[in-house]
Structure 1
Amino acid sequence: MSTLRTWTRDLAMGVRFAFGGGREGWTRTTLTGVGVGLGVALLLLTTALPGALAARNERGDARSTLTAPTADGPRADSLLVANSDTTYRGLDIDGSLVLAEGPQAPVPPGLERIPGVGELAVSPALDALLRSADGTLLRERLDGPITQVIADAGLVGPGELLFYLGSDKLAKTDPADHRVQRVTGFANTLEAPKLDPVMMLLIVLTFVTLLMPVAVFIAAAVRFGGERRDRRLAALRLVGADGRTVRRIAAGEALAGSLVGLVLGAGFFLIGRRLVGGLTVAQRSVFPADLDPTPWLVVLVSVAVPAAAVAVTLLALRGVVIEPLGVVRTATPRKRRVWWRLLPPLGGLALLVPLMGRGGENGYFNAWQVTAGVVLLLVGITALLPWLLERFVGGLSGGPVSWQLAVRRLQVGSGAAARPVNGIAVAVAGAVALQMLFTGVEGGYTKDTGEDPARASVSILMHSGTESRVNALAQEISGTRGISRTVPLTTFDAAHQIPAADRGIPVTAGTCEALREVAVLDSCADGDAFVLTGSPSPDTGTYGTTAKPGDRLHAGNVMGYDDGTPDAEKAVAWTLPATARTVASREDPVGHLRTGLLVTPAAAPKGVQVAQSAQIFVQLDDSVPDALDRVRTAAFKADPFATAMTLKATRQAGPYSTIRVGLFFGAVGVLVLIGASLLVQQLEQLRERRALLSSLVAFGTKRSTLSLSVLWQTALPIGLGLGLAAVVGIGLGAVLVRMAGRPVRVDWASVAGMTGAGAGVVVLVTLLSLPPLLRLVRPDGLRTE
């Protein structure tokens, strides 16, 4: 008989045993299928994630006006669009003001028609927020009637907060006005900027460290019920089967369990995909339909999982002698050797160490080399943990009965005790290393904005053409509850001649209180003017001045722009007061160091309508609830074009934040898998030891003693596993940080947090396994067939 036919026959017999071996066979197959299925589901979700992110980007580009076709003037197919994003209780809300200029104006994706003046079109998530009790203040801001709910085609995710508001205040008369766009369609054809080498390293490591525990769990799941299976296989030796045959039959049983796991995994994936649609983390969400795994990756998982099940089973049975009268694992087990267990981590270091010091300026890291190095280091944990556990429990003796029962069980089968821990140890080690890398490179992606939140909480920027209302708006906002101070400033241009030969001289107008935010003033009264110096701006020269006291200037439209209308604004003549004093510049609350001139209202030129910008600095009273949202609402109601920006001392780069959010998504999935798999393995071990536990109770052992022994049997391997994971994680993290060209710094709080999370999962699993334990130790557990 050929080798292929022999393998096929024996594997098929193992499959028949798995499905036709009575309750025992079905139980083992079900447990294996559930364990494998959980891992397969997470693998499928992970392989579907890149496609979901790509779909998000496609829908975002389809509604974007970044590179949309434009028109020079009003047309039948033109649409005026202006950005009107806002924030509510820390939630970013994307918004646009729209006005159709003709019957053929393009309709934004997801809408049936363009909202009329005052009408709102909102996303389902925003609609739910507005109708909820938490949306009371937001309803004051967006108080128009909701006439449409945006369909999925116009959203990047089900949890996105988005609105379109019809407005008759939109106009575009100045080509330099980029706040309002006149578009004839929607598109964004710009390619996303290429990620730098360190960012790519973060992405690769995130996927590797999240998928490695899944692979370890799948490998452990196919060995469920191994001891009982080996005893059943001994009966086959009585009817003439040789050792190789029974091993192939055992592989067939594992193959059957893995096939069941593939089916269950597909079901778990469909359930998980549906649940993901209702999950929003850091305001990022995906549509369930977008979680569509790439076909070739599905085929790869479908082939790799059964193949791995067969390979792991054959590898595990190499050290087991299955004889006709029983299973022999040697009366005096040979101690595990450590030398070959050190080869994987040493090989991983050999791959990663040459990449140290490269940083982000010396080219991209070889993704395959990084992946192989990290995988070898994490695999080293699974090799070292059984040896470490054997050495640790080998010399233990004495203690309470529960302790002795646990230690003796670990001494007899330390390998079986280490298998469930391997996955969580790998997960914790990978998380510690990633956290160290994130902490090490955070400084490169967290920028100091120069803003001073202590001087102003919010900066409100006025839309071009509405600067004349800055004082009135500041007055309106100052009457809002929770506002302690408002500082309005207006900036316009002045020049010695028209049109100005170069860019104009910036002139900042405001009260004395407001001007003190941008200059060092010893004294000030209405009617004063100042010449700023002390600014290193290259436009004005180092510490140079732009005008002298008494100079005759022109203010306003100094570049001579003509929008073609009869009432186009002209620059006004103005004389800088001869009493103007020279003062030093001071950074304003947003960190800008201004140049040019400062004037109080009485000294400012009259009739200037065109300004560079108008800005209001707002200081909040933190003791008033929702003060920030009250400011945003007041600003939006007064001028929907106004941009209210919360001042922060630091900001993180967008891609860096996105990767951290992706890591959080993956970590949640891995933790769920860890907990579920550990619980399944714990129940399977208790089921195999049912008769033994019932016998102990029958001989007078207290149930509390057995419960404590189960706790010790779990706690000892977990404690050693987490300790080993912390050491390997810190070592791997140090190498990765040096690869990124950053100094090594151990964030002990993060290390404690990661190991604590792993320990918490184990404690939860142990508590959940106690009720089944109490049922298993009842007297009927002694029944046998």
Structure 2
Amino acid sequence: MKAGQWGRDLAMGVRFAFTGGREGWIRVLLTAVGVGLGVALLLLTTAIPSALSARHAREEARLDYTYGNAVKRPADDTFVIADADTVYHDKDVRGRLVEPDGSRAPLPPGLAKYPAPGEMVVSPALKELLASDGAKLLRERLPYRITGTIGESGLVGAHELAYYAGAEGLAAKIDGSRVARIDAYGNPSPTTEQTDPVLVLLVLVVFAVLLMPVAVFIAAAVRFGGERRDRRLAALRLVGSDSGMTRRIAAGEALAGALLGLVLGAGFFLVGREVAGSVEILDISVFPSYLNPSPLLAVLVGVAVPAAAVLVTLLALRGVVIEPLGVVRTARPARRRLWWRPLLPLGGLALLYPMIGQGRDNGSFNQYLVTAGVILILVGITALLPWIVEAVVARLGSGSVAWQLAVRRLQLSSGTAARMVNGIAVAVAGAIALQMLFAGVQGDYTKQTKNDLSRAQMQVHVPRGVQLHDAAGKFEATKGVSKVIALSGDVVGDRRRDPEHTSEMTIGDCAALREVAVLPSCRDGDVFVLRGSEYDSDTPKLATAGRTMYFDPSYSGSPGAATPWTVPAHLKQARSIKDPTGIRRGGFLLTPSALPATAKSAQGQLYLALDESVTDVREYVRNTAAGIDPMADPMVWAATQQAGKFTSIRTGLFVGATCVLALIGASLLVSQLEQLRERRKLLSSLVAFGTRRRTLGLSVLWQTAIPIALGLLLASVVGLTLGAVLLRMTSTTVAVDWASVLTMTGIGAAIVLVVTLLSMPPLMRLMRADGLRTE
């Protein structure tokens, strides 16, 4: 067969698609909308790597490391910067206090000039939030005058809350941690982290699971209008085309819908990209400019979708005999063969088997085998489901009129019903497997904190130079704070410079010291040495009466105060107990009067017990902390902490799953409408013969419910199997997360129910008697 003949036949099919009158246009439009939705999501997905790369680049460009990158002397090109991050209603607010040393100090990305003291430049989202009625507490916390907005180059997302505020006197607060003098923005020493094989596996499976339903739906969309198309093809045979030419013309019609779908998909993508800039999901936002698909991936989508449309159509027509007087498909179809269908999931399992146990002990996964194995298992659903639906509906018996109508329709076109359900079955199976994998490995990326939440729920770091007693008094007067434990700490050494032995020094009043140790008796002026700490070998060597030690000794490269202190003769013994952070402290305990008069104020920690019944109690605490010192760092305690990369991947899964579920719902609705349009005359005939509309509505519901029930059952089996294999690959004990299984299947069923309800109004319109009219 010459390529020219193929081209002419495909071109004829394209012409037929666009010149077939109203029916032809509707058919092409339905196909194009279905393909366009899938293409848009594919393009958005292929844009995710560039979006993540753009976010990372923006974050790297504005980094202001205040440790390991500091300069000692002020110059015309240096500046002092302080970390003043905060949180408002569980949303992070990135804050920086800045003070340039000279006119050549580099500007932060997104700023045209440094703000003057008392002024700030904010992100558009923060400006909008501060102007809202519900931001009174945040306005009190940020008492600066807004003089401008941060440009896009200085933000990682359209909804990021961030500000730069001008300050003065920051040099006196330089501590090499939260406040430092630097001369450049950006990461001074970028490093490449070793990739965790389990996280790589999670990413690969997430992408495979999210993209497979899209591909399945595109393959189904190009077959919209199959029955009417077959009747037109019979007419082509009547005027002289052979069977091969007829199939190529049919492929050309599908190609027309796919090409128009590419155009619509590009339009949907552009609209979706703009919408993405105004949407925030799980505190993640992007700028539209981030979502630029890789040119190679975009070309691959542009070539693969039309090619898939042609191949799917040719494969679908292989078992159909098209004759001049009709299509053999209208007779009872031959039963589907089972023998080859299980080979796909079994092949996928075979590809994954060599990687059992590779997720630990510095193992690694072959990315190509993982991707191919997961895809084969999920594609196996699309091969098994048509056979299962056909086998089950063939055995369904009698029932109500609605049931009989639905069953008979499914018996005649079980393949069409299975195609409608394939996408959601694949999505649910993949989601179940992923939920099992996440639930199985999250223990490796989640650790229990030692914080005692029964004694305190927040902790506030008080910088040097702030009187801890005064700060504690302000927190005690804060609305919703029921108890304040004030402790400060320092290090003492046996030499002024580079000490050989060091010990911890904890300073607080008697009530606060009793939170960390069992004291025999206590009054202001007492000094205690702790016994029973977890890690403290130097204190017994230093706890000698009359020995001189030094507060805050200096080390090479870092100055210290080195204030002398003599160990008192009346040194009391105390037994260490767990403090609010769950640690048994070591070293010495000092009451305030025992502290040398020349000693500088040490860094303090306040542990706060809150009355959770007070609305916005954490915001009141943060406002008090900001009023004491902008660098005061309030932290909310939690029982667990989760690794950032694991959390990011899980967040990405939720965002992607939201998009895929939206696509599935839209695709099912389009498929349902296409099926109803195909059966318009049949529905009108049934109504004309006296069938109640309620009966027809129930029949449509049963036609959807039976295949979806079978699809969800198959999806559960495949999802549990795939999840078990993935857990074995990570050397994790196999356990079924039944809550996730029920949740995923429930979501799938809910989508079908919603789609069915939305299709009821069009169904009622199609039942009118004028549906019998023909031309």
Q: TM-score range by the shorter chain?
A: over 0.9
SS in structure 2 at match of 1:329? helix
**Identical amino acids, percent of aligned pairs:** 56
Is 1:646 the counterpart of 2:636? The answer is yes
For 1:575, the aligned partner's letter is V
Say if 2:38 and 2:218, in contact at 8 Å, map to a contact too: yes
Say if 1:125 and 1:159, in contact at 8 Å, map to a contact too: yes
Gapped runs of 5+ residues in structure 2? none
For 2:648, the aligned partner's letter is T
Q: 1:368 to 1:389 in 2, by over 3 A?
A: same
SS in structure 1 at match of 2:451? coil
Q: 1:68 to 1:294 in 2, by over 3 A?
A: farther
Q: Distance in 2 between matches of 1:173 and 1:750?
A: 50
Say if 2:447 and 2:641, in contact at 8 Å, map to a contact too: yes
Q: Distance in 2 between matches of 1:684 and 1:572?
A: 87
For 2:568, the aligned partner's letter is L
Partner of 2:55: 56
Bigger drift between 236-245 and 35-44 goes to: 236-245
For 2:98, the aligned partner's letter is V
For 2:755, the aligned partner's letter is V
Partner of 2:158: 158
Partner of 2:128: 128
Q: Distance in 2 between matches of 1:677 and 1:69?
A: 53
Q: 1:378 to 1:573 in 2, by over 3 A?
A: closer
Partner of 2:564: 572
Partner of 1:513: 511
Task: Encode CA deviations 1:174-193: one digit per residue, 9 max, x unaligned.
Answer: 7x633222122211151352
Say if 1:495 and 1:553, in contact at 8 Å, map to a contact too: no
Q: 1:295 to 1:97 in 2, by over 3 A?
A: same
Structural mapping, 1:191-206, within 5 Å: 191-206=191-206
Q: Distance in 1 between matches of 2:396 and 2:173?
A: 86
SS in structure 1 at match of 2:341? helix
Partner of 1:5: 4
Q: Distance in 1 between matches of 2:169 and 2:709?
A: 66
Partner of 1:621: 611
Q: Distance in 2 between matches of 1:569 and 1:535?
A: 27
Partner of 1:47: 46
Residue 354 of structure 1 and its aligned partner are, at CA, apart by: 1.9
Say if 1:459 and 1:647, in contact at 8 Å, map to a contact too: yes
Residue 562 of structure 1 and its aligned partner are, at CA, apart by: 11
SS in structure 1 at match of 2:317? helix
- The match for 1:677 among 644, 667, 684 is 667
Say if 1:320 and 1:327, in contact at 8 Å, map to a contact too: yes
Q: 1:298 to 1:570 in 2, by over 3 A?
A: closer
Q: Distance in 1 between matches of 2:368 and 2:226?
A: 35
Is 1:726 the counterpart of 2:721? The answer is no
Partner of 1:589: 580
Say if 1:68 and 1:184, in contact at 8 Å, map to a contact too: no
Partner of 1:292: 292
Q: Distance in 2 between matches of 1:712 and 1:521?
A: 75
Q: Distance in 2 between matches of 1:699 and 1:251?
A: 38
Residue 597 of structure 1 and its aligned partner are, at CA, apart by: 0.5
Q: Distance in 2 between matches of 1:8 and 1:494?
A: 86
Q: Distance in 2 between matches of 1:561 and 1:236?
A: 91
SS in structure 1 at match of 2:504? strand
Partner of 1:663: 653
Partner of 1:635: 625
SS in structure 2 at match of 1:121? strand
Task: Encode CA deviations 1:437-476: one digit per residue, 9 max, x unaligned.
Answer: 010110011112212222111111122x32x511111111
Q: 1:727 to 1:571 in 2, by over 3 A?
A: same
Q: Distance in 1 between matches of 2:493 and 2:58?
A: 46
SS in structure 1 at match of 2:268? helix
- The match for 1:552 among 534, 541, 547 is 547
SS in structure 2 at match of 1:663? helix
Is 1:533 the counterpart of 2:523? The answer is no
Q: Distance in 2 between matches of 1:563 and 1:233?
A: 85
Q: 1:519 to 1:715 in 2, by over 3 A?
A: same
Residue 569 of structure 1 and its aligned partner are, at CA, apart by: 4.8
Residue 365 of structure 1 and its aligned partner are, at CA, apart by: 0.2
Task: Encode CA deviations 1:607-665: one digit per residue, 9 max, x unaligned.
Answer: 31053x31111111111111111101101111111111111121111111111111111
Say if 2:402 and 2:699, in contact at 8 Å, map to a contact too: yes
Residue 577 of structure 1 and its aligned partner are, at CA, apart by: 4.5
- The match for 1:484 among 482, 485, 488 is 482
Residue 70 of structure 1 and its aligned partner are, at CA, apart by: 4.8
Task: Encode CA deviations 1:193-233: one digit per residue, 9 max, x unaligned.
Answer: 23300001001111100000000000000000000000011
Task: Encode CA deviations 1:41-81: one digit per residue, 9 max, x unaligned.
Answer: 00000011110111111111111123996532111111101
Residue 290 of structure 1 and its aligned partner are, at CA, apart by: 1.2
SS in structure 1 at match of 2:467? helix
Is 1:147 the counterpart of 2:152? The answer is no
Residue 503 of structure 1 and its aligned partner are, at CA, apart by: 4.8
Q: Distance in 2 between matches of 1:173 and 1:324?
A: 90
Task: Encode CA deviations 1:124-171: one digit per residue, 9 max, x unaligned.
Answer: 111111111221111110011111111101001111111111121311
For 1:258, the aligned partner's letter is A
Q: Distance in 2 between matches of 1:251 and 1:671?
A: 29
Q: 1:596 to 1:36 in 2, by over 3 A?
A: same
Partner of 1:184: 183
Residue 781 of structure 1 and its aligned partner are, at CA, apart by: 0.3
Bigger drift between 201-210 and 189-198 goes to: 189-198
Is 1:23 the counterpart of 2:13? The answer is no
Bigger drift between 36-45 and 581-590 goes to: 581-590
Say if 1:504 and 1:558, in contact at 8 Å, map to a contact too: no
For 2:8, the aligned partner's letter is R
For 2:537, the aligned partner's letter is T
Say if 2:481 and 2:617, in contact at 8 Å, map to a contact too: yes
Q: Distance in 1 between matches of 2:14 and 2:626?
A: 68
Residue 774 of structure 1 and its aligned partner are, at CA, apart by: 0.2
Bigger drift between 516-525 and 90-99 goes to: 516-525
Partner of 2:749: 759
Partner of 2:241: 241
SS in structure 1 at match of 2:764? helix
Q: Distance in 1 between matches of 2:478 and 2:70?
A: 39
SS in structure 1 at match of 2:47? helix
Say if 2:359 and 2:365, in contact at 8 Å, map to a contact too: no
Residue 570 of structure 1 and its aligned partner are, at CA, apart by: 5.4
- The match for 1:770 among 750, 760, 765 is 760
For 1:652, the aligned partner's letter is Q
Residue 552 of structure 1 and its aligned partner are, at CA, apart by: 3.1
Q: Distance in 2 between matches of 1:230 and 1:748?
A: 45
Partner of 2:361: 361
Q: 1:619 to 1:483 in 2, by over 3 A?
A: same
Say if 1:75 and 1:101, in contact at 8 Å, map to a contact too: yes
Q: 1:500 to 1:300 in 2, by over 3 A?
A: closer
Say if 2:46 and 2:293, in contact at 8 Å, map to a contact too: yes
Q: 1:502 to 1:249 in 2, by over 3 A?
A: same
Residue 303 of structure 1 and its aligned partner are, at CA, apart by: 0.6
Aligned length in residues: 773
For 1:157, the aligned partner's letter is G
Task: Encode CA deviations 1:299-336: one digit per residue, 9 max, x unaligned.
Answer: 11111000000000000001111110111127343222
Q: Distance in 1 between matches of 2:355 and 2:69?
A: 46
Q: 1:227 to 1:364 in 2, by over 3 A?
A: same
Give the alignment's TM-score, normalised by structure 2.
0.97
Q: Distance in 2 between matches of 1:481 and 1:550?
A: 45
